[in-house]
Amino acid sequence: MIPRQQVHIGLWLYFLVQTAVGKAALVPFEDWLSLLLATNLVVLLSFVALFHILTTSSKTNFATREDFLLFGTAVVVSTLTGLMGYRFDIAIAMGVVGVFYITQRGPHREDDYFLGLVYIAIGVNGFIAPLIFQVFKDWFLVGEVQIAVLVNNLMGFQLDAVGVRIVSQSGMRLEMIGACSVFSNLSLALLGYAAFKGMFRSRLVAKDGLVVGALIVALTLGNTIRLGLMTPGLQSYEFWHHGSGADIFGLAQIVLIALLSIVPIYFWQRNQIG
């Protein structure tokens, strides 16, 4: 008889390898550090959370036919869709696995809720969020430019908004595209928050909306300030867009997500114990 946790750690390892290979293939080797600081640390955190839940369970029981069927189905579906060139294969598979977990009930299933929460968040970040962005892309980009210009003008940068472009008095023109939008950062922030919720085994409650709201405001403001810092000239643009400034911003963003996630979860749990 095989312990249930081992089967699900095997599924976790399969998803981890597939995700790592897929992410690494997107960029040249020399850009891996920037990619890691900008996005992959949060994705890695979600896998750490899943591993933590799987290996710290107080309940031990044996794998059932259902567990092996879940493993096999996830591997077969993601492999077939991957062979067809469908780039959302792993995200969709993980989201479906998450739905399976979060709907389970019964003895020895207490941790399935938290596994499901993190898996669904990975699926949302990798598939649902990009889909929503593509549908409403023009509205998001124009709105974000308007917000960036308004906030930076209040800070004294003197910028103008022209469609999806930010124009500065120095003559710099920044065109807002998907990679520059805060939208992808927001989906990563939600993934990070779900990872911490799972890691601390904290169920979703209504007041989680306050944390989500704080993350949206903080990350939008941070990205807005970064856009303003790019506008004085070409040197400033290169530093903050793809230089050391971009790495600093990526790391600061991850620290901010961690703090805004961990602090409220910690205090809520402490108040419950008290």
- 216 lies in the same domain as 177: yes
Residue 160 bridge partners (DSSP):
167
- 63 lies in the same domain as 122: yes
- 100 lies in the same domain as 140: no
Please compute the mean of the pLDDT values over residues 121-133 and round it to a whole number: 91
Residues 247 and 240: their CA atoms lie apart, in Å, by: 8
Whole domain around residue 8: which residue ranges? 1-131
Residues 188 and 182: their CA atoms lie apart, in Å, by: 10
pLDDT at 231: 87
pLDDT at 274: 46
- 125 lies in the same domain as 65: yes
**21-25, 106-110, 214-218: which range is least confident on average?**
21-25
Between the CA atoms of 21, 24, 25 and 31, what dihedral angle is there, to the nearest 10 degrees? -170
Please compute the mean of the pLDDT values over residues 167-179 and round it to a whole number: 84
pLDDT at 79: 79
Out of 71, 106, 131, pick the residue that ends a domain: 131
Distance of CA 4 to the CA centre of its chain: 28
- 263 lies in the same domain as 157: yes
- 150 lies in the same domain as 259: yes
DSSP state at residue 126: I
Q: What's the pTM?
A: 0.86
pLDDT at residue 209 greater than cutoff 90: yes
- 81 lies in the same domain as 108: yes
With cut-offs at 50, 70 and 90, classify the pLDDT of residue 35: low
pLDDT at 214: 96
Q: What is the number of domains present in the chain?
A: 2
pLDDT above 90 covers a percentage of the chain that reads: 30
**17-31, 121-135, 183-197: which range is least confident on average?**
17-31
pLDDT at 120: 95
- 101 lies in the same domain as 171: no
- 40 lies in the same domain as 119: yes
pLDDT at 199: 94
With H, G, I as helix, E, B as strand and everything else as coil, classify residue 3: strand
- 159 lies in the same domain as 272: yes
Read out DSSP for 142-192? HHHHHHHHHHHHHTT--EEEETTEEEETTS-EEE--GGGSSHHHHHHHHHH
Helix (H) or strand (E) holding 40: none
Please compute the mean of the pLDDT values over residues 21-46 and round it to a whole number: 67
pLDDT at 195: 95
pLDDT tens for 65-124 read 888 888 888 888 787 777 766 677 788 888 989 998 898 877 667 788 999 999 999 999
Out of 131, 155, 176, pick the residue that ends a domain: 131
pLDDT tens for 242-268 read 888 888 888 888 899 999 999 999 998
Out of 131, 151, 185, pick the residue that ends a domain: 131
